[in-house]
Structure 1
Amino acid sequence: MNIKNLKQLKTAVAPFEKSTVKASVWQLANTIVPFILLWFIAYKSLSISYMLTLVFSIVAAGFLVRIFIIFHDCCHFSFFKNRKANKILGTITGILTLFPYSKWQHSHSIHHATSSNLDKRGVGDLWMMTIEEYENASLMLKIKYRLYRNPFIMFILGPIYEFLFANRFNRKGAKSKERLNTYVTNISIVLLAVLLGTTLGWSSFFLVQLPIFLISGSVGVWLFYVQHTFEDTYFEENKNWDYVKAAVEGSSFYHLPKWMQWLTGNIGYHHVHHLSPRVPNYNLEQVHKQTEPLQNVPTITLASSLRSLKFRLWDEKDKKFISFYEWKKQKKALSVSARSEMQ
């Protein structure tokens, strides 16, 4: 994209970067209130049927994903105009989603600044190896990587580890305010769990909360995964890396059914979000529809997104994701070609 188009793009997006109190408060009301009601109904339904409880818990998990999007916007200071209001609401929604606001804000800001940059991976992103890196890795590192990229570990065990355990500790080098925010979040999570557990009964609490936690966690990791792991995505070395290309070509437009788009807070318009993180989630669709260059981006659907499950390695030569099976075929073909040349 040339400089002229870049300026036009920024000009087109700028009007949507301002949040409105009315829209933000309404989103809070239609997200947190239903979540609390669904949680309570799920609890009351335990006396009727646990299958019914699971139904309400599944729906509540969807609303918890939507709460996380509000938390996410607060981390970008885009949900409210006032930075302090974002920090307060971000901390509260972080307690509900098990994320320490200040710590995650730091790593996520790095993710935005380095997304799709092959030379600046490792903070706020998913572990991805290139073919060359994998081939030169030790056996133990290869095993660790294969385990990490296994769908069961990434989408089931991974969220449990990340949300319950990794989020409870401060990062190395964190400043005092960030550390304090993590401590406040951790203590609040424990107090809320103890309050509900002792009031409603621990077995009832876990029967309701566990499926909500497991489902929302898996959905959250899945969304993050498909937003950057898809066919025709963009990755470049630092010398060739371009922020705008990383945003509009390295972040997907996940075209979801309307009800899923609503529950996921429009985060499927991830190319818009990466281009301008200051656009609140409720304006993302409008930006996409009214900005023609943003409509010509990699688009994935529910069906096509499932193909991304096979992607394991980044092929630097052909600039695309490949599976371990495709990598083995490449190696075999190269080996056959080499033997033929020798003969």
Structure 2
Amino acid sequence: MLEGKDLILATKPYASEFRGKSWLYTLSTLCFLLLALTATLLAPYLLLKIAASILSGLLIVRMFVIYHDHQHHAILYKSKLADVIMAIFGIYVLAPTSIWKRSHDYHHKHNSKLFSASIGSYPIVTRKKFLSMSKAEKRSYLFTRHPLTILWGYLSMFLVGMCINSFLSSPRKHMDSLLAIIIHLTASIAVYWLLGWQSWLLFIFIPFFIACSIGAYLFYAQHNFPGVTFSDNESWSYDKAAMLSSSYMVMPPLMAWFTANIGHHHIHHLNARIPFYRLPEVMQGIPALQNAKTTSLKPKDIWACFQLKVWDPEMNQMVGIKSKKLRALSYELRA
């Protein structure tokens, strides 16, 4: 079985795009999205409008993964037209290029490191560190990882996290974040004022709520799942962070299409230059990648991921805050 540098090198032949296929998937997804959004306003029956609204949210997810691949230079690299399309989409989806690329590149370089800034990642603390926190710090930490916070990723991760926080932290670097906020709020008010609350609900709220909640959960569960491994900075390595700390999320074919194969996340972290449409090909071609740690979108697996709160270095696994060992240590510290 390949491992380490040899495993990374084995993926390099796949890290090249088929330019025609990249354009086909990008433009077709955009067209489907525009048609679905239009149908939320113009479809003759309410049930059709609702179906179009849900479909819009799922298509935003697919387009976001395509956008994400472009930011990694995996597809349509050095295409000025693609740069314009993706910059517009980034503003539309509340993940402008300035903050998305900076935070996501950091995530790839520091994924699963215990003692690094939680930029582009959900924060992780050790069991002992958690118990030493103040009540306010514990609440803040648990709030960030709470299922409702992730469900409301539209507000928590995208509108506030990506746009508002980035602009307030560095206005000059993130003017596109301010632009995204202004355009989104202006469009929301305009649709509500001119077309009514139902149109706002179907055209804006439901698509963004679905897309952002799925996006926030995928980002969470792909690195917070039973069996995940975290390392201190000295023992960290790029290939181990991909294979031991990034999941293969098993999905039915339709959901794999809507998420543009991002479930093959261990391969993506091993080599981010592989286009999304080649990820299944890589997994089939390299047997070592078929031994990935898995999770899924089944309710029991979602529940299992949400139970994980802190890293226990002694047990070498993530545990919940109600685990027996955590309670025992808590009693020791109090004594």
Residue-by-residue CA offset, 1:52-96 (whole Å, 9 max, x unaligned): 422221111100101111121122121213164553232122123
Cα offset, 1:310, TM superposition: 1.0
RMSD across aligned positions (CA): 2.7
Tell me, what secondary structure is at the counterpart of 2:137? Answer: helix
Q: Which one of the candidate residues 199, 207, 210 is aligned to 2:201? A: 207
Asked whether the 8 Å contact 2:61–2:214 carries over to 1, the reply is yes
Q: 1:324 aligned to 2:321? A: yes
Residue-by-residue CA offset, 1:150-205 (whole Å, 9 max, x unaligned): 2112322x4313322333343577595x434334444554565577567x624344
What TM-score do the two structures reach when normalised by structure 1? 0.87
- Structure 1 residue runs of 5 or longer lacking an equivalent are 339-343
For residues 209 and 283 of structure 2, what CA distance do their matches in structure 1 show? Answer: 31
For residues 146 and 291 of structure 1, what CA distance do their matches in structure 2 show? Answer: 38
Question: Where do residues 174-213 of structure 1 align in structure 2 (5 Å cutoff)?
Answer: 174=170, 176=172, 178-189=173-184, 193=188, 201-208=195-202, 209-213=204-208
Asked whether the 8 Å contact 2:167–2:177 carries over to 1, the reply is no
Q: 1:150 aligned to 2:143? A: no
Asked whether the 8 Å contact 1:71–1:89 carries over to 2, the reply is no
Q: Percent identity?
A: 28
Q: Pick closer, same or farther for the CA change 1:20–1:195 going to 2, 3 Å.
A: farther
Paired position in structure 1 for 2:119:
123
For residues 254 and 168 of structure 1, what CA distance do their matches in structure 2 show? Answer: 28
How many residues end up aligned between the 2 structures? 329
Q: 1:310 aligned to 2:317? A: no
Q: Which one of the candidate residues 228, 241, 250 is aligned to 1:246? A: 241
- Structure 2 residue runs of 5 or longer lacking an equivalent are none
Which range is displaced more, 63-72 or 86-95?
86-95
Question: Where do residues 126-141 of structure 1 align in structure 2 (5 Å cutoff)?
Answer: 126-141=122-137
Q: Pick closer, same or farther for the CA change 1:128–1:332 going to 2, 3 Å.
A: closer
Q: Which amino acid in the other structure matches residue 201 of structure 1? A: L
Q: Pick closer, same or farther for the CA change 1:224–1:212 going to 2, 3 Å.
A: same
What TM-score do the two structures reach when normalised by structure 2? 0.89
Residue-by-residue CA offset, 1:298-332 (whole Å, 9 max, x unaligned): 02222353211111111111111111221xx2255
Tell me, what secondary structure is at the counterpart of 2:174? Answer: helix
Tell me, what secondary structure is at the counterpart of 2:245? Answer: coil
For residues 336 and 89 of structure 1, what CA distance do their matches in structure 2 show? Answer: 56
Question: Where do residues 1-343 of structure 1 align in structure 2 (5 Å cutoff)?
Answer: 5-45=3-43, 48-49=45-46, 51-82=47-78, 84-85=80-81, 87-156=83-152, 158-169=153-164, 170=166, 174=170, 176=172, 178-189=173-184, 193=188, 201-208=195-202, 209-303=204-298, 305-306=301-302, 307-326=304-323, 329-331=324-326
Cα offset, 1:249, TM superposition: 1.3
Paired position in structure 2 for 1:341:
none
